[in-house]
Structure 1
Amino acid sequence: MTLPAIPSALEQLEEISLARALAAIAPNGVRTGCRTIRGGDEAHLLSAEAQSIPARQPAMRRASGAARWIAHGLLAEIGVGDVAILRAPSGAPAWPGGVTGSLAHDDEIAVAAVAPLDHIASLGIDVEPALPLPDELLALVAIPADRTDAAPLHLAGRILFSAKEAVYKAVYPLDREILGYEDIAVDLAAGSAVTKTGRRVRLVYCIVPRVVVLAFVEAGADQH
């Protein structure tokens, strides 16, 4: 078994910067974390987790291992230990009872967020490089109802894309509806989104050193 590599000084600095940015935007009750994906991170997958993840590509398994390593640590902080985070048939991670959470990664960074259900009904997180979104992808993602004027112009499309990915992760466990980008309207200034089913979701994001969007549905709130 290959052991995880030791992070470089630059990777450590990026992790610290992103961890601080995530902690600053996370709502009360939500714990967040991040990790640079490194060679050997697949070793962090518990046996049951490894069996539940069909992807055999080394890069995908490393990313899954990095994300679950973060999540295991966050769960331990709220008193939930030794729990395998299996991949459900839908592709989403299956969280232990009483907890909601979300995992994400790009090619270099993995992120995770968890919260007790008495604080947050559902969570979604997404991470992207802090680069402009290609025009052809923006044309698929944006709809007239979206409002992105509050975001930096060169990153507005990227944040919009990440927001819709995070919103989908947050609402699917609640509504079990397959949504396209056209089914989610985002207002970055208001920090909210609404789906075609009427589900309302809160949004927060950071853009240094990565674009990360956290979408959440508050426990007990009237969301429709």
Structure 2
Amino acid sequence: MAEAIAAIAPANVRIGCRMIREGDDVHLLPEEAHSIPARQPAMRRASGAARWIAHGLLAELGINDVAILRAPTGAPVWPDGITGSLTHDDYMAVAAVAPVGHIRSLGIDVEPAQPLPDDIFALVATPADRIDAADRHLAGRILFAAKEAVYKAVYPLDREVLGYEDITVDLNAGRATTKAGRKVSLAYCVAPRVFVLAFVNGDAR
């Protein structure tokens, strides 16, 4: 999966992933552990795994020993000059980082490669969404992951809470647009999980 998600990333975006393991909560730095209110062991393991990956990616950029705190909004707080995103499902953790420049903001989401339940699809999809380019069994799941990733990418820029109905996704063209007109680029793969990367280019509104 690491090779597949790296292949869809634009230049300067570093992405890593690995399976969540027992004891991954020990990878949380003390400040990180204090900022994460979740007490469920599974959630803390997932947060520890994602941050462990992110710490390694930041080290590749020469940034070491920086705590990635959880903001009150739930978003990770990145060092100055860095944009990034964290995500996990029950088994896999993923992190992505990039220097701010050509990429202004990132959002990622990982989901099991399973059809999205019909009741959730009804909440997520709008008539304006275009998903026929995706595998028909997984198109709903990819759409769900795309809107989750888009929200993560645009919230740091616009500070606006968005519902699924506020984001229009065109998987055919690899882009999304928010109700405020924010343009977001999309890339996705299924290898073997559904993974979506959303990013706002440096010259985008």
Q: Normalization by structure 2: what TM-score?
A: 0.99
Q: For 2:148, what is the secondary structure of its paired residue? A: helix
Residue 103 of structure 1 corresponds to: 86
Identity between Structure 1 and Structure 2 (%): 75
1:141 aligns with 2:124: yes
Give the CA deviation at 1:118: 1.6
Match of 1:114 in 2: 97
Q: Deviations over 1:26-61 (max 9, x none)?
A: 001100000101100000000000000000000000
**Is residue 2:26 matched to residue 1:22?**
no
Q: Distance in 2 between the 1:119 and 1:79 partners?
A: 19
Distance 2:158 2:129 in 1: 21
Distance 1:216 1:175 in 2: 14
SS in 1 for 2:137: helix
Q: Which of 46, 49, 55 lines up with 2:29 in the alignment?
A: 46
Residue 163 in structure 1 maps to residue 146 in structure 2: yes
Q: Per the alignment, in what secondary structure is the counterpart of residue 153 of structure 1?
A: coil
RMSD after superposition: 0.5
Counterpart of 2:52 (choices 57, 60, 69) is: 69
CA distance in 2, matches of 1:74, 1:146: 33
Aligned positions, number: 205
Determine the structure 1 residue equivalent to 2:163.
180
Unaligned runs of 5+ in 2: none
**Aligned counterpart for 1:196 among listed residues 179, 183, 195:** 179
Distance 2:75 2:54 in 1: 14
Q: Which amino acid aligns with 1:132?
A: P
Give the CA deviation at 1:79: 1.0
1:89 partner letter: P
Q: Distance in 2 between matches of 1:73 and 1:39?
A: 19
Q: What one-letter code is carried by the residue in structure 1 that aligns with 2:160?
A: E
Q: TM-score, normalised by structure 1?
A: 0.91
2:204 is aligned with 1:222: yes
User: 1:200, CA displacement in angstroms?
Assistant: 0.4
> Which segment drifts farther, 117-126 or 163-172?
117-126
Q: Indicate the SS of the match to 1:126.
A: strand
Q: Where in structure 1 are there 5+ consecutive unaligned residues?
A: 1-17
The CA distance in 2 between the partners of 1:34 and 1:153, in whole Å, is 26
Answering whether residue 90 of structure 2 is matched by residue 131 of structure 1, we say no
- 1:222 Cα deviation from its structure 2 partner: 3.1
Report Cα offsets for 1:77-119 as digits up to 9, x if no partner. Answer: 1111110000001100000000000000000000010000023
Q: What is the Cα deviation at residue 172 of structure 1?
A: 0.1
